[in-house]
Structure 1
């Protein structure tokens, strides 16, 4: 039994659910901020902050500021990972949420290029760096908090709750973006109305902070403290798992990240500028696919808990590769129906591997260094996958004036992840209980 902040007793199950819910809410709000920037970068920022560039160059510059957030994420991962392993998961997650919310709110008041010239994109990039650092601390920490509170037979399920924050944040960002756009007079949204969703972030983060303040510290970290096993330099100890295993784990996750950001961000720019699709139509397609993504994560994590991750992850990787062959050609037909099907297919396939990748990475490391190790892998994977994907895709389209190069790029990165997963699962036991790792680390 444990107690809540009013001193009333909570059952272990209630406490676990409270933590899982708090992690879901917090990650949803942080991803709302992150994806809101991505949508604005695809559709708005080229005109507001890079008006002197051509449309293609302006879009590439806007996506570059989007990528800056990914470059900053390893910094956040290293800093928050260190303190998460030294002083605890809970407090570091509170700080990460505050950083993201404050940065996003300030983006809503940054003057545009017409007002302050080159300082406008400079301020935008600086705030994007703060966003990236905040999210770098969130991804691993939220997964660990939820997973480390879970019963031994449901660790994939609980680790999946923070993963659900990714599509939930995307849907929330797109709903707010679309609603604000629909309610504004013609031209007003592009001129100043885009700021409203960013300003709303301040209110949403206050709600998330109130929830996150009332959860208990991770039992695994508490056990490490009680056994006096806190590491002075946790990242150094995390690296002892070996370069090969770290590399395979990193390779395993890059495809899901890259494909997701092509599907969520790059297609908004490509579809509107190259294929003349309506902006709202594409955002709705992405949002409906994200709802499917969100809804199916508990199913897939349940499958992983019952049957193991190996077959499910490898099968999902193969399905993702096949759908990448079809995805952009279906968009290129100009058919709204085929385009919608292409997006819905992504919504069905992406969660198969995304749902358990956080748990797979976390189970690579013992509890005493798990935050540091997991953060490093997650954030490097995010850069190599999601951070570079929109830029690479935009450059490939600019070179060839078509999407064939992007399709080849997605196939190549899917093959990297598939091969990495097969080799990793042959070298290790993918369903090994993290409880055993925790016990070993505390012994």
Structure 2
């Protein structure tokens, strides 16, 4: 029935079903699983045609990572079925977002002096340099994980790679093929995650019956999705405050330079309210939402006081993460907040009170804005997603799902150049 309805719809809209590809974009969050069905083709038609959202149990996720895989699979199945019922198509590929405090983004640069400068660049040359960058990045990622969790010889997997910059004799080029020159310099942003996290996502895709077309780091997806001319030129800082983690991405010098994640986010606010008022987590979550929506009249001052310390800790965590990302270079002036946790009342003001410009290399006071789903361009929303901060991540993931090449498509260089930021 789904295929028949899809064919009829395509007849009425004047398009052929065979012209399109379909994928599921799966955002496995701490509070919700969100599934989006994406339709796209080679003519750069990108559309969200199905959406499903299912509440997670509190024990399903911890620190942005899956803790109960069987229950998460059930929630993913429910969300995807809801999205498929809306889209009225069959889908066999899935792209899954990954986040969490142990997901590491690493930027590395490698240079090479070419023997024959008049010889045109070949793909193999850049391919070899990129692999060299990946090996160096892997070592760095393992060191970061060792410092964070104290476990040596932890198995780490490459999640995704994106070329930040390619220079030939000091000149930046967007597509290096057929250029000539002596000095070749490649900068690549790589995202790594512990094998246990990656294998959990692979298991979910397999158990659900989908081929895993890609795994995308969620802060990377958001940062890449807002790469307007202004962000490309002046840079931006994206802070995604979810249920279990806060993910930060730095866009600078025309590319995504790095990401940082830490496990302090919306759920911490919920737990504080539950403890203070001696209520269940479900009741505390409901209270938090009503408070943010301005629906709580009595006891609002008490909630302000209860959450003040958590907001202060979050602002401190953001400052520490940005100091590590800054690497002594000037930080962009635009800061964008998104994610369900960013809509908490007084949170934006609490971050402003931290006066980040005093301790960090900002030229002037940074401008802090809330990012909403409507700010993500490049993909048509056919399902009327709620224009809120909480839908920024799934919409960004949907956009990248329509753009990423499957693991069996093209060679490694083609994928990297197609992901060029």
Q: Same fold (TM over 0.5)?
A: no
Q: Considering fraction of residues, name the structure with more helix.
A: 1
Larger radius of gyration, structure 1 or 2? 2
Q: Considering fraction of residues, name the structure with more strand.
A: 2
- TM bracket (short chain): under 0.3
With a CA cutoff of 8 Å and minimum separation of 6, indicate the structure with the bigger relative contact order: 1
Tell me the TM-score normalized by structure 1. Answer: 0.23
